[in-house]
Structure 1
Amino acid sequence: MLIYSKHITPRLQYIVQFFSKELGVEEWQLTNDAVAFNNYPGAKINYSHTVFDAPCLSIIPQGLLEQTGIKQQNILVKRSSNIPVFFCNESLVGFDLFAASFYLLSRYEEYLPFEPDRYGRFPAVQSLAFKNGFLKKPLIHYWMELLKKELLRIFPAYAFRQSSFLFVPTYDIDMAWSYKHKGILRNGMNFLKEAISLQFAAFSRRFKVLTGREKDPFDQFGWLNHLHEQYHLNPYYFFLVAERTGKNDKNIPPAHPAMKSLIADHAIRYPVGLHPSWQSNKSSAILKKEKATLASITGAPVTTSRQHFLKLNLPGTYRNLLEAGIGFDCTMGYADENGFRASAATPFYWYDLEKETATSLLIFPFCFMEATSIFYKKETPAEALTDLRQLYNEVKQINGFFSMIWHNHSFSDEGVYAGWKAMYEQFIATNTLQDQLIDPLR
């Protein structure tokens, strides 16, 4: 595939490389040589206002990919063949799909002024996708199908790459145990609080767990291991290893023998990544130390992460990860809504808009988190299961990458978590592949 443009910019190179990776059997090439383009005998796309005699698919540039800097864009979302589109013009596909895809994939809107939520994050409800009803759709893949259809109409012999559906369940372990291994002081203070507030059931439960009469309700690791073996799943685990506990970092310290043993055991069985603490989001030194701590426990380099509380602020968070030697990140999703934050269901490289350059940080998006359904949407397990299946089927239909987030404490089956363990097992049993799945993060 040869693509002509008068202006070959970093933005255009980035988005063409993305489309090439997703659709091309061979790498797509860019040229600003009009004569060479006109004489090229193969499939080609004219991304310019120039008119050529030779057959080609014409896409008229909207202008975003020729710009530098970040400025408010005039976006009006319309529907074409019942698919949301914007940057509409006289292109054969009806809009500048390269510029529109770049806008969504680069998370352009997150660099513009916005009203952050209480954790300082960009909320889903302020996104273009939520406001225009396409958050539940991996929209860029729908656009790729439009592009394929038009190219095949002009170049029926052109061969596209065939993708495969991938499913990777992931778990954030930020509270490994509810009662155990928290020390005499922490448990003593909690005993006192429960007694003063007359929480006799909680007091009794804590006592039974600490005296070995009951299993800690957050210790669901054996059950998960059995589930993974039964359905041949290869999940990813992200461990919080903050040295100091705090309001937002409540895990057992990594120096504790029980925590070390838990992490080491999982590192033998599964891929393990870092769950950078809340504290590390504002300190690259803490981030690097936590990465080194996890590596020392697992005995292997740590290259993958997902932010605690999904605390993602562009471009700072991603720059810190790159500086710390992280090559893969799995934070791309929302806390307040389930869906496709970047409108994509496939891994993609992060583009640093402020520096106008593609980076080596590979982003693995997720589209469902159980905490979103429980705490933000206030859904029942049955309602969340319907949403989860819809998202799963969306990704499976396009042979994309499906990832979701769960927490071990959500399987405790008590309080607000009652019924979620059974819901998860039902989903795994009826909606996942029954053979060994490829792990794209390894």
Structure 2
Amino acid sequence: MKVLLYTQNHLPRLQYICSFIFEELLGIECIVTTGCEVFKTYEGIKINYSNSPVCSNEFHLSPTGLLAEQTITPQTIDCFKINNYKAFFKTENSDFAFDIFSTAFYLLSRYEEYLQHQKDMYGRYAHENSLAFREDFLHLPLINIWVKDFAVALQNKFPSLVIHVPVFKFIPTYDVDIAYSFKHKGLMRNVGGFLKSPSLDRIQILLGLRKDPFDTYDWLIDLHEQYKLYPVYFFLVAAKNGLYDKNILPAKKAMYQLAKKHADKCAIGIHPSWQSGDDDNLLTKEIAQLRLMSQQEITKSRQHYIRFNLPAGYRRLLKENISDDYSMGYGSINGFRASVTSSFYWFDLENNETTSLRIHPFCFMEANSYYEQKLSADSAFEELMQYYTACKEVNGELITIWHNHMVGEDNLYKGWGRMYENFLKKIM
């Protein structure tokens, strides 16, 4: 199945978004042409993406101009409702109510994050700036929803059109940034911790009489095997600790063994330290460290504290031969940061080109529910089920973030491990 799309000029932004919408979400080959006569004589399914009709047997979609631009400038966004969902870049005299190519590109490319904006307390793009938050659609994979409606409109025009939608996937991911609560922290850290907060639990755990409450690794492995899940683990391996980097140091044998154990069973990636955000050389060293510990190449990444800014953050990863990043989400609220629940290639707006970096967006992190949204485990379960339903309805990918220490036996996070297990029982 092929679609021929006519445009007056070759547009890198249009080529990018068409590849994503047609080939990745709809399973249709899309050929973009600037030849008007070629378009007119084509007998298959064809879309005219220009200001004027070309022929009678076409699907006409008027462009609003964003994809023809080569610079980054503030856009006028006026949202309206269509099929009970928000949309923008409204069009007139078209076979679709809005310029779906431009709207999807605006959100997917994170266009607004290149514009002047307010940072949050961690120096990140604040979610309050985003159109999705302001217009109350952060909880929706809006691009997937639009594409679903767009496919129906195309099929109404061309009944022979066959859509091949992706299969829904659930991908659990884990950040190991506090590997153990008491074990393997060394004498000085444990003595200091005990003096600050005397605890019989600490003594029993250090004596081997009780299990460390953050040691949930075997339990998680059993869950993955039981439900046939394929998780991804991200390890923080900073050479020294800091204000936001508090893991067991990679020089410890226990951390070597932990990384190798998981690398032998599942996919792993680097969890770049907070410190590496201020020093590119540290990122290089941390990737090399994890490569040594796991004895495999490291091509996946997720930023610690979701600390990154565009485009510099992603360019750093490309420089380090990272092919897949899992940081596209907020570290301050759950939801769809790029308004999509499918992975996509990053488009570098400044260079106006598609890159080889694959972005895997997450929509739920238990730490957001607990620390930022102040939800109980039971309330977070309901929130998580809503994201599961939203992703499944559009045949997307539900990527969640968990932390080994939050699903363990620490009293501070009591009930969260049970909540996670109940979630898996319900959906699998």
Which TM-score applies when normalising by structure 2? 0.97
Q: Distance in 2 between matches of 1:209 and 1:162?
A: 50
> Counterpart of 1:274?
270
**2:59 equivalent to 1:36:** no
Distance apart, 1:45 and its partner CA: 0.8
Q: Distance in 1 between matches of 2:76 and 2:403?
A: 40
Match of 1:74 among 73, 76, 82: 76
Q: Kindly indicate whether the alpha-carbon contact (under 8 Å) linking 1:413 and 1:420 is maintained by their aligned counterparts in 2.
A: no
The 10-residue stretch of structure 1 (165-174 or 122-131) with the greater mean CA deviation from structure 2 = 122-131
The residue type equivalent to 1:341 in the other structure is R
**2:6 equivalent to 1:10:** no
Q: Kindly indicate whether the alpha-carbon contact (under 8 Å) linking 1:177 and 1:217 is maintained by their aligned counterparts in 2.
A: yes
Q: 1:23 to 1:310 in 2, by over 3 A?
A: closer
The 10-residue stretch of structure 1 (83-92 or 325-334) with the greater mean CA deviation from structure 2 = 83-92
> Counterpart of 2:57?
55
> Counterpart of 1:83?
85
Q: Secondary structure at the match of 1:386?
A: helix
> Counterpart of 1:250?
246
Q: Secondary structure at the match of 1:28?
A: strand
> Counterpart of 1:145?
148
Q: Distance in 2 between matches of 1:230 and 1:88?
A: 48
The residue type equivalent to 1:331 in the other structure is S
Q: Kindly indicate whether the alpha-carbon contact (under 8 Å) linking 2:214 and 2:410 is maintained by their aligned counterparts in 1.
A: no
Deviations, residues 389-438 of structure 1 (Å, cap 9, x unaligned): 00001111111111100000002343431111111110011113xxxxxx
Q: Secondary structure at the match of 1:409?
A: coil
> Counterpart of 1:321?
317
Q: Distance in 1 between matches of 2:177 and 2:397?
A: 25
Match of 1:168 among 171, 175, 179: 171
Matches within 5 A, 1:399-414: 399-414=395-410
Q: Distance in 2 between matches of 1:430 and 1:19?
A: 31
> Counterpart of 1:45?
47
Deviations, residues 234-260 of structure 1 (Å, cap 9, x unaligned): 111110011111111111111211110
Q: Distance in 2 between matches of 1:287 and 1:230?
A: 35
Deviations, residues 300-333 of structure 1 (Å, cap 9, x unaligned): 1100000000112100110000000100000001
Q: Kindly indicate whether the alpha-carbon contact (under 8 Å) linking 1:240 and 1:277 is maintained by their aligned counterparts in 2.
A: yes
> Counterpart of 1:437?
none
Q: Secondary structure at the match of 1:269?
A: coil
Distance apart, 1:24 and its partner CA: 4.5
Question: Aligned pair count?
Answer: 425
Q: Secondary structure at the match of 2:406?
A: helix
> Counterpart of 2:300?
304
> Counterpart of 2:360?
364
Structure 2 unaligned spans of 5+: none
Q: Kindly indicate whether the alpha-carbon contact (under 8 Å) linking 1:284 and 1:324 is maintained by their aligned counterparts in 2.
A: no
Report the RMSD for the aligned CA atoms in angstroms.
Answer: 1.1
Q: Secondary structure at the match of 2:51?
A: coil
Distance apart, 1:264 and its partner CA: 0.5
Which TM-score applies when normalising by structure 1? 0.94
> Counterpart of 1:381?
377
Distance apart, 1:283 and its partner CA: 2.0
Q: 1:26 to 1:148 in 2, by over 3 A?
A: closer
Match of 2:335 among 323, 335, 339: 339
Distance apart, 1:23 and its partner CA: 4.0
Structure 1 unaligned spans of 5+: 195-199, 433-442
**2:285 equivalent to 1:289:** yes
Q: Secondary structure at the match of 1:215?
A: coil
**2:218 equivalent to 1:216:** no
Q: Kindly indicate whether the alpha-carbon contact (under 8 Å) linking 2:214 and 2:409 is maintained by their aligned counterparts in 1.
A: no
- State percent identity of aligned pairs: 45
Match of 1:190 among 165, 186, 193: 193
Distance apart, 1:179 and its partner CA: 0.7
Distance apart, 1:26 and its partner CA: 4.3
Distance apart, 1:288 and its partner CA: 1.2
Match of 1:98 among 92, 98, 101: 101
Deviations, residues 203-224 of structure 1 (Å, cap 9, x unaligned): 2221221122221111111111
Q: Distance in 2 between matches of 1:220 and 1:162?
A: 36
Q: Distance in 2 between matches of 1:121 and 1:413?
A: 31
Q: Distance in 2 between matches of 1:38 and 1:219?
A: 65
Q: Secondary structure at the match of 2:402?
A: strand
Q: Distance in 1 between matches of 2:414 and 2:421?
A: 13
The residue type equivalent to 2:201 in the other structure is R
